[in-house]
Structure 1
Amino acid sequence: MATNRVKRLVACGCVAFGLAAGAAQADTLADAMVGAYETSGLLEQNRAVLRAADEDVAQALAGLRPVLSWTANATRNFGEARSTNTTTNPLTGQSSTRQVTSPTVSNSASVGLSLSLMVYDFGRTRMGVDLAKESVLAARHSLVGVEQRVLLRATEAFYEVRRAQQTVDLRESNLRLIQQELQAARDRFEVGEVTRTDVALAEARLAEARSQLAAARGNLTIAQEEYLAAVGQRPGPLQPPASEPELPATVEAATQTALRIHPDIVAQQHSVTVAELQIAIAEAAMKPRVSLSGNLGYQADIDSTDYSRSGSVSLGAEGPIYQGGELSSLVRQAMAQRDQQRALLLQATRQVRQGVANAYIQLEVARSSITSGNDQVRAARVAFEGIREEATLGARTTLDVLNAEQDLLDARTLLISAQVDEFVAAYNVIAAMGLLTVDQLDLPVQRYDPSVYYNLVKTGPARSQEGEKLDRVLRALGKQ
């Protein structure tokens, strides 16, 4: 129930993604996420890792099946033989000896079939299949974790471009305002109302404004490059969501959801199961193994009609007696690895819990900063307008006006950052809960279904009909 409620809350925040896209043709946050999902090399890399883990299931399953192999060979034996031949002349009775060399050649061919089948090994091979399946599940949830990081990076890149662009706009507006103040100072200097010092102060502040504008434009370029790296294309005009996504009201509610479904925790739970299966496999390796084998053979002399046929069937058992302590060491090593995975699970749980709490803290800080920032901007604007009016009456100096304008600029800059930080923190909360995925956000993409490849390879197809289906899937993925 809580998961469905969180899905509903996240979806509410995503409805606003495309509201203004039609009118202004601006890139929305959904567009950025879709681009990141479809072009991410990191996602493609981890999908390949998952497909490799899928193949481990097929390879483990092969151990439960009979293994049939064949042999064939053709042999030509050749050489020469030397012999001594003694003959006797019947007329004279005399004997003569001579050596005779003759070639020897023989041709033969043989074919054979052999079959072997593991009959019983105390569940060692079957547990290997279960281990491979658990590894697949761990890899799937690790892929979801990578997907979250890819989408969160796209989100942060989107808002950083927004922050940088708004800062540039603010700096440009500030530059125009200071240029106006400089012109006003020069006009007043011409009529003797201010001194040359006031003009110099305005000129110095104008130079500073130009420097700050150059820095802001540089930051915008950096943000645009990060957007390109994260999303796969350069940003156009950006249209942010109208409102931030709705989140659980309390940290505790968000934490409970995260502890139940966060991909890092679920992946690590499967890793613990893998480690426990490794212990059972290591213990089973110390027990006997029963196997069945059979052989068929046929051999023929090509130079004649001679041939021979043979066959055998055997049921055998084998098991270790003394391995120098290796098998016991492997069991102890597997136990240590299980303890390691359990510790990693505890660490992952704590990190997820801390991540949720930190995200909420950042969100509250941003919201407080927005409230204070609005008050600060309002007060700074009133102060600036009042001081500028007083300066026209001679009650304030040019420096007072410039300082008031700088205070207003700083307040507006802080407010822009706080507004961006609020949205970024909100999506960090979603990611910390384990819900920043294309499924939860219902993004309009062709989603990668890890079960398609797994269902095709889990039975270990070769060139059968299933193998042909697998070839089509690989071609669709661009892997063949």
Structure 2
Amino acid sequence: MVNRFISASTFALLLALSASGAAHGQSITQALTAAYDHAPDLQSALLEAKASAESIVQAKSQKLPTIGASVAGSQSWSLVGGQITTGSQITTGVSYNQTIFDNFQTEAQIEQARAAAELAEYQIRNSEQNVLLSVVEAYMNVLSGRQLVALRQDNRSFFQAQLQSAQDRLDVGEGTRIDVAQAQARLAQGEAAYRASLSSLEVSQATFQRLVGARPGELSSSHNYARLIPASLDAALAEAEVGHPAIMISKAAIRAAQAGSDAAEAAFGPTATINGQVGSRWTNGGPTDGLSGSLGFQVTVPIYAGGAIGAGVRKANLNQIKSEVDAMSTYDQVREAVISAWAGIQSADAQIQAAQSAVQAGNTVLEGTIQERDLGTSTTLDVLNSQAELTSAREGLINAQTQKVIATFSLLSAMGRLTASDLGLPVEVKSAVNYTQSVEDVWQELRTVAE
């Protein structure tokens, strides 16, 4: 009887800690905050977005002037008739080159680069969601792993007590060797299950540390993010269609592909450039030619390029079609993820209710079976089976509660709302928008040289 009450009270304490959280525990919000600042994947996505922004500058440069200054010098000598003649020359100049018309190819390339930068920005949000969802999964795996370890440790203690009880009854002639053997077998199974849960917990804690950057403290499944979930599935789908990063990435990819197609078609048109230079030459320390300069222009019209231009257009058009097909696939995947996560929450709720009923019934059955065993109307095997069923029900409750939390955050992720901004995390949101705006100032390079 004492062992049963220890088991029930221990399990109740575990569930209470899971529901209310420890006084100084590590909350889900704290873990998400730490992971957001720590995650290498997010930092990598941010750097990728900044690198993409530089493509805008490179595209703009195609129609902006290229200005350069040069200084050149030479020293010469000759030996004629026994006399050595020497000379020196210094040449300075400024050159100017600019494409003034390229059939709007540069404008298309700029639009393509901007779409790619926008895509990279949304990729940060997508990576952010993946990281935060992985943190929640790792967090709940550690929490449920600890609960399972404690439960199976308690279960092992119960079987140890039953083995001792069976052995005591055998010693006084009230039991059988079968009872002892059955208790020994169940104890071995309980020990194996306990060891397996310890190993699984170690793996979960290692995953948690990799994602969060620190070992887990006292954890709690308590959170208030369910308030972000809309009241209906249709509303959740509507939010996902409007704001999920993967869908926004697909839209940006379509824009980039369309601009790429425009740029490829523009390659068939004429190109006009102007160039000029101004310079001076000094010989033996004095100017000889004064200032000199030139100004020219060139118009080029492509006629035939070995099929390269036509192939480029066809390839760009195919990429545009592919981007639209990929967008449709992404839309379907997001929709599927929302429906799956929504169903996961409903299923978890039903499993929690069923598991709670099973635990309550299992406690009653175990208590009655122990009493019947003491009166001789039930066997040790009956007690062992009742305990195994109760343990299974308790494990089911732990798993159902874990899945409920994971399904909740999975739905937020599927809706596109598992972001630092939506969750209100106390972090500086990672974004390349300001960086993109700053590098689009293409004259900054010239001002830097002047300064």
Question: Given the two structures, how large is their TM-score scaled by the length of structure 2?
Answer: 0.91
Match 1:432 to one of 414, 417, 432: 414
Partners of 2:65 and 2:323 in 1: CA distance: 34
Equivalent residues in 2 for 1:195-214, closer than 5 Å:
195-214=176-195
- Measure, in 2, the Cα distance between the counterparts of 1:206 and 1:232: 38
Residue of 184, 200, 204 corresponding to 1:223? 204
| Shift of residue 181, structure 1, vs aligned partner | 1.5
CA distance 1:20–1:414, change in 2 (3 Å): closer
Match of 1:40 in 2: 39
Q: Structure 2 matches for 1:31-110, cutoff 5 A?
A: 31-81=30-80, 100-110=81-91
Residue 453 and residue 20 in structure 1: after superposition, are their counterparts in 2 closer, same or farther (change >3 A)? farther
Match of 2:438 in 1: 456
Whole-Å Cα distance in 2 between the matches of residues 305 and 55 of structure 1? 43
* Contact 1:64/1:126, CA 8 A, preserved across alignment: no
Aligned counterpart in structure 2 of residue 389 of structure 1, from 371, 386, 410: 371
2:276–2:293 CA contact under 8 A, matched in 1: yes
**Which residue number corresponds to residue 10 of structure 2?**
none
Cα separation, partners in 2 of 1:106 and 1:255, compared to 1, 3 Å: same
**Where does residue 333 of structure 2 map in the other structure?**
351
**Shift in alpha-carbon separation, 1:305–1:311, aligned structure 2, 3 A:** closer
- Per the TM alignment, residue 259 of structure 1 is displaced from its structure 2 partner at its CA by 1.0
Deviation track 1:402-441 (CA, whole Å, cap 9, x = no partner) reads 1111011111111110110011011101100010000000
In the other structure, the counterpart of 2:277 is 295
Deviations 1:307-339 (A, max 9, x none): 343111223311212212221211111101111
The 3 A distance-change label for structure 1 pair 338 and 224 is: same
Residue 456 of structure 1 contacts residue 466 of structure 1 at CA under 8 Å; is this kept in 2? Answer: no
Asked if 1 retains the 8 angstrom alpha-carbon contact of 2:28 and 2:223, the reply is no
- Give the counterpart of 2:136 among 155, 169, 193: 155
Identical positions, percent: 29
Q: For 1:467 and 1:125, how far apart are their aligned partners in 2? A: 27
- Within the alignment, does 1:333 sit opposite 2:291 as a pair? no
Instruction: Give the partner amino acid of 2:276.
Output: G
Larger Cα-atom Rg: 1
Which amino acid counterpart does residue 109 of structure 2 have in structure 1? G
Alignment map for 1:161-310 (pairs within 5 Å): 161-241=142-222, 245-246=226-227, 247-302=229-284, 306-310=288-292
How far apart are 1:284 and its partner, in Å?
Answer: 1.1
CA distance in structure 2 between the aligned counterparts of 1:298 and 1:111, rounded to whole angstroms: 5
- Output one character per residue of 1:70-125: Cα deviation in whole Å (capped at 9) or x when no partner: 221111122323xxxxxxxxxxxxxxxxxx43333221111111111222222211
Number of the residue aligned with 1:404? 386
Aligned-residue offset at 1:28:
0.3
Deviations 1:10-56 (A, max 9, x none): xxxxxxxxx978x7210000011111100001111111100101111
Deviations 1:323-363 (A, max 9, x none): 12221211111101111111111111111111111112222
**Offset of 1:180 from its aligned partner?**
1.9
> How far off is 1:168 after superposition?
0.5
> What amino acid is aligned across from residue 395 of structure 2 in structure 1?
T
- Between stretches 113-122 and 166-175, larger displacement belongs to 113-122
- 2:248 and 2:120 map into 1 onto residues whose CA distance is 10
Structure 1 outlier segments of 4+, above 4 Å: 463-468
**Mapped contact 1:244–1:423 kept (Cα < 8 A):** no
Match of 1:136 among 107, 117, 129: 117
- Partner residue of 1:478? none
**CA distance in 2 between partners of 1:193 and 1:207 (Å):** 24
Say which is worse superposed, 31-40 or 443-452, in terms of deviation: 443-452
- CA distances 1:355-387 after superposition (whole Å, capped 9, x unpaired): 111112222222221121112212222111111
Q: Decide whether aligned partners of structure 1 residues 303 and 64 sit closer, same or farther in structure 2, where only a CA change above 3 A counts.
A: closer
State the AA in 2 paired with 1:101.
G
Give, as a single letter, the amino acid of the residue that structure 1 aligns with 2:249: A
Segments of structure 2 that go 5 or more residues without pairing to the other structure are 1-18
CA RMSD, 1 decimal = 2.0
Distance 1:164 1:230 in 2: 17
